[in-house]
Chain A
Amino acid sequence: MPSTRASSTSWSSGSDQTSASAPPIVLDDVSLRFVSYRDKQYSFKRAALDLLLRRDGTPPAAEFWALRHINLRIESGERVGIIGHNGAGKSTLLRLIARIYPPTEGSVMIRGTVAPLIEMGAGFNPELSGADNILLNGALLGVSRRAMKARLAEIWEFTELGEFADLPLKYYSSGMYMRLAFAVATSVDPEILLIDESLGVGDEAFKSRAKERIRRLLDRSRVVVIVSHDLNALRELCTRGIRLERGRVVADGPIGPLIDQYLADAHRTAG
Chain B
Amino acid sequence: MPSSFPSTRRVIPHEEYFPTPRGPLLPTGWLAVLAHDLRELARFAPVIANLVHQDLRVRYQRSVLGFFWTLLNPILMMTTMTLVFANLLGRDGDWRNYAIYLFAGQVPWGLLAGSLSDCALSIIANEALIRKIYVPKLVFPISRVLFHVVNFALSLTALFLLLVPLGARPSWSLLMLPICVALLAAFSLGLGILIAVLNTFYRDLGHLVGVTLQAWYFMTPILYEASRFRTSPWFLALNPAYPFIRPFQVILRDGQWPDPCVVGVSAVLAISSLGIGYAVYKGLEHKLVFRL
B32 CB contact (under 8 Å) in A11, A119, A141: A11
- Complex-state Cα separation, A222 to B135, whole angstroms: 22
Q: Does B157 contact A (CB under 8 A)?
A: no
- Complex-state Cα separation, A11 to B34, whole angstroms: 13
Q: Does B15 contact A (CB under 8 A)?
A: yes
With A10-B23, A123-B132, A220-B2 known as contacts, the answer to whether A99 contacts B11 (CB < 8 A) is no
Chain A 68-89 per-residue mask, 1 if CB under 8 angstroms from chain B, else 0: 0000000001000000000000
Give B285's nearest chain A residue, CB to CB.
Answer: A102
Chain A 1-40 per-residue mask, 1 if CB under 8 angstroms from chain B, else 0: 1100110011110010010000000000000001100001
With A5-B13, A42-B201, A43-B203 known as contacts, the answer to whether A11 contacts B23 (CB < 8 A) is yes
Q: In the complex, given contacts A5-B39, A132-B54, what are 12 additional A-B residue pairs having Cβ atoms less than 8 angstroms apart?
A: A9-B23, A18-B15, A103-B18, A107-B21, A110-B18, A113-B13, A127-B54, A136-B54, A140-B47, A147-B7, A188-B8, A191-B9
Q: Does B261 contact A (CB under 8 A)?
A: no
Chain A 121-152 per-residue mask, 1 if CB under 8 angstroms from chain B, else 0: 01101011000100110011111110100000
A99 CB contact (under 8 Å) in B4, B9, B18, B131: B18
A-side contacts of B132, CB under 8 Å: 100, 116, 118-119, 122-123
- Complex-state Cα separation, A11 to B20, whole angstroms: 8
Inter-subunit contact A144/B8 (CB<8 Å): yes
Q: Does B133 contact A (CB under 8 A)?
A: yes
Tell me if A's interface is mostly helix, strand, loop or mixed: loop
Inter-subunit contact A143/B2 (CB<8 Å): no
19 A-B pairs (CB sep. < 8 Å): A6-B39, A10-B29, A15-B15, A41-B203, A100-B131, A100-B289, A110-B15, A113-B12, A113-B13, A116-B133, A118-B132, A125-B58, A139-B46, A140-B135, A141-B133, A144-B8, A144-B11, A147-B8, A189-B6
Q: Does A109 contact B (CB under 8 A)?
A: yes
Number of A-B residue pairs having CB atoms within 8 Å of each other in the complex: 160
Q: Does B228 contact A (CB under 8 A)?
A: no
Which positions in B face A, CB cutoff 8 Å? 1-23, 29, 32, 35-36, 39, 43, 46-47, 49-51, 53-54, 57-58, 61, 128-135, 201-205, 285-286, 289-291
A-side contacts of B289, CB under 8 Å: 100-102
Inter-subunit contact A220/B50 (CB<8 Å): no
Q: Does A114 contact B (CB under 8 A)?
A: yes
With A40-B291, A144-B11 known as contacts, the answer to whether A11 contacts B134 (CB < 8 A) is no
Chain A, interface size category, equals 35 or more
Give A6's nearest chain B residue, CB to CB.
Answer: B35
Inter-subunit contact B36/A9 (CB<8 Å): yes
In the A-B complex, list the 10 residue pairs whose CB atoms are closest, starting with the nearest: A122-B132, A99-B134, A102-B286, A111-B15, A142-B12, A9-B32, A139-B46, A108-B18, A147-B8, A11-B21
B-side contacts of A139, CB under 8 Å: 46-47, 49-50
Q: Does A265 contact B (CB under 8 A)?
A: no
CB distance from A77 to the nearest CB of B (A): 7
B-side contacts of A144, CB under 8 Å: 8, 11, 46
Give B43's nearest chain A residue, CB to CB.
Answer: A142
Give A40's nearest chain B residue, CB to CB.
Answer: B291
CB distance from A103 to the nearest CB of B (A): 7
With A41-B203, A44-B205, A189-B8 known as contacts, the answer to whether A1 contacts B290 (CB < 8 A) is no
Q: Does A47 contact B (CB under 8 A)?
A: yes
Q: Does A186 contact B (CB under 8 A)?
A: no
With A11-B32, A116-B134 known as contacts, the answer to whether A102 contacts B19 (CB < 8 A) is yes
Inter-subunit contact B39/A15 (CB<8 Å): no
Chain A 41-55 per-residue mask, 1 if CB under 8 angstroms from chain B, else 0: 111110100000000
- Complex-state Cα separation, A101 to B133, whole angstroms: 10
- Complex-state Cα separation, A98 to B23, whole angstroms: 23
A77 CB contact (under 8 Å) in B1, B12, B20: B1
- Complex-state Cα separation, A127 to B203, whole angstroms: 26
- Complex-state Cα separation, A101 to B19, whole angstroms: 10
